[in-house]
Amino acid sequence: MSLLELKNISKIYGELKALDKVNIHVDKGEWVAIMGPSGSGKSTMMNIIGCMDKPSRGEVLLDGVDIAKESSRKLTDIRRDKIGLVFQQFHMVNYLTAVENVMVAQYYHSMPDEKEALEALARVGLKERAHHLPSQLSGGEQQRVCVARALINHPELILADEPTGNLDETNENIVLDLFAQLHKEGTTLIVVTHDPEVADAAQRTIVLEHGRVAREVINENFGK
Amino acid sequence: MTKRRMFLRMITASLLRRRSRMLVALLSIGIGATILSGLVTIYYDVPRQMGAQFRNYGANMIFVSADGTSLDAEKTAEALSLIPKEKILGATPYRYTSAQMVRNQLSFVAAGTDFEQVQATSPYFMVDGAYPSASRQVLLGKEVAKTIGAKLNSMVEISWKPSVTEASGDTELKPGAYLAGSAEGFNSALVYVTLKLGDDLSIAEMTVNADSQTAEFGGRCAEESFTKQFIGKLIPLTAGTDVDAMTGATVTSQAVVDAVNKARPTENAQAATGNSLSLQVTGILDTGGDEEQYIFLSLSDMEALTGEQDRFDVMELSVSASAEELEEYVSQITDKSGSVSARLVKRVTRSEAAVLTKLQSLVFLVTAVVLLLTMICVSTTMMAVVTERRKEIGLRKALGASDSSIRLEFLGEGIFLGALGGLLGSVLGFGFAQVVSVNVFGSSIQFQPLLLPLTVAVSMLIAALSCMLPIKRAVQIDPALVLKGE
Ligand SMILES: Nc1ncnc2c1ncn2[C@@H]1O[C@H](COP(=O)(O)OP(=O)(O)OP(=O)(O)O)[C@@H](O)[C@H]1O
Ligand SMILES: [Mg+2]
A131, pLDDT greater than 90: yes
Q: What pLDDT is stored for residue A60 in this prediction?
A: 93
Listing DSSP states for A4-52 in one string gives EEEEEEEEEETTEEEEEEEEEEEETT-EEEEE--TTSSHHHHHHHHTTS
Q: What pLDDT is stored for residue B334 in this prediction?
A: 86
Q: Residues within 5 Å of ion ligand 2 by Cβ?
A: A 43
| B116 alpha carbon – ligand 2 mean position (Å) | 93
* A139-145: average pLDDT: 88
Q: What pLDDT is stored for residue B59 in this prediction?
A: 84
Region of poorest pLDDT, from B31-40, B48-57, B228-237: B48-57
Q: Which residues contact B106 (CB under 8 A, 6 or more apart)?
A: B100, B147, B148
Model pLDDT for residues B173-197, shown as the tens digit of each residue: 778 888 878 888 887 777 888 888 8
What is the 3-state secondary structure of A114-174?
HHHHHHHHHHCCCHHHCCCCHHHCCHHHHHHHHHHHHHCCCCCEEEEECCCCCCCHHHHHH
Residue among B3, B399, B482 with most chain A CBs within 10 A, to mutate: B399
More confident residue, B267 or B33: B33
Q: What pLDDT is stored for residue B361 in this prediction?
A: 86
Q: What pLDDT is stored for residue A205 in this prediction?
A: 94
Cα–Cα distance for residue pair B315/B337, rounded to 1 Å: 15
Model pLDDT for residues B318-358, shown as the tens digit of each residue: 888 887 888 899 999 888 888 888 888 877 777 777 887 88
Any ligand 1 atom below 6 A from CB of A43: yes
Q: What pLDDT is stored for residue A224 in this prediction?
A: 67
Q: In 10 A of CB A170, how many CB atoms?
A: 10
Q: What pLDDT is stored for residue B124 in this prediction?
A: 84
- Cβ of B483 within 8 Å of Cβ of A52? The answer is yes
Q: What pLDDT is stored for residue B411 in this prediction?
A: 92
* Spans of all domains in chain B: 3-53+351-483, 59-161+276-344, 164-273
**Quick one: what percent of chain A has pLDDT higher than 90?**
63
- Cβ of A113 within 8 Å of Cβ of B1? The answer is yes
Any ligand 1 atom below 6 A from CB of A71: no
> Which residue lies with its CA nearest to atom 26 of ligand 1?
A38
Any ligand 1 atom below 6 A from CB of A42: yes
Q: What pLDDT is stored for residue B165 in this prediction?
A: 46
Cα–Cα distance for residue pair B255/B239, rounded to 1 Å: 10
Q: How confident is the model at residue B86 (pLDDT cuts 50, 70, 90)?
A: confident
Model pLDDT for residues B108-124, shown as the tens digit of each residue: 899 999 999 998 888 88
Q: How far is CA B374 from the centre of its chain?
A: 40
pTM of the entire predicted model: 0.65
A93, pLDDT greater than 80: yes
Any ligand 1 atom below 6 A from CB of A14: no
Model pLDDT for residues B361-393, shown as the tens digit of each residue: 888 888 889 889 889 988 998 898 888 888 899
Q: How confident is the model at residue B478 (pLDDT cuts 50, 70, 90)?
A: confident
**Quick one: what percent of chain B has pLDDT higher than 70?**
95
> Which residue numbers of A have CB closer than 8 Å to B's CBs?
43, 47, 50, 52-53, 73, 76-77, 79-81, 85, 87-89, 91-96, 100, 103-109, 111-114, 133, 149
B273, pLDDT greater than 80: no
Q: Which atom of ligand 1 is nearest to the CA of A36?
A: 21
A117, pLDDT greater than 90: yes
Any ligand 1 atom below 6 A from CB of A46: no
B270, pLDDT greater than 70: no
* Shortest Cα distance, chain B CAs vs residue A133, angstroms: 10
Three-state SS for B110? Answer: strand
Could you tell me which chain A residue has the CA closest to the CA of B388? A94
Q: How confident is the model at residue B486 (pLDDT cuts 50, 70, 90)?
A: very low
Q: What pLDDT is stored for residue B166 in this prediction?
A: 45
| For ligand 1, mutation pick of A15, A22, A44 (most atoms within 8 Å of CB) | A44
Residue among A75, A104, A157 with most chain B CBs within 10 A, to mutate: A104
> Which residue numbers of B have CB closer than 8 Å to A's CBs?
1-3, 5-7, 9-10, 13-14, 17-18, 391-392, 394-403, 405, 478-480, 483-486
Q: What pLDDT is stored for residue B163 in this prediction?
A: 61
Choose among B90, B30, B9: nearest CA to B56. Answer: B90
Any ligand 1 atom below 6 A from CB of A39: yes
Q: What pLDDT is stored for residue B167 in this prediction?
A: 45
Residues of A in contact with B9 (CB under 8 A): 100
Q: What pLDDT is stored for residue B162 in this prediction?
A: 67
Three-state SS for B302? Answer: helix
* B148-155: average pLDDT: 89
Dihedral in degrees, nearest 10, Cα atoms A112, A118, A124, A126? 130
Residues of A in contact with B8 (CB under 8 A): none
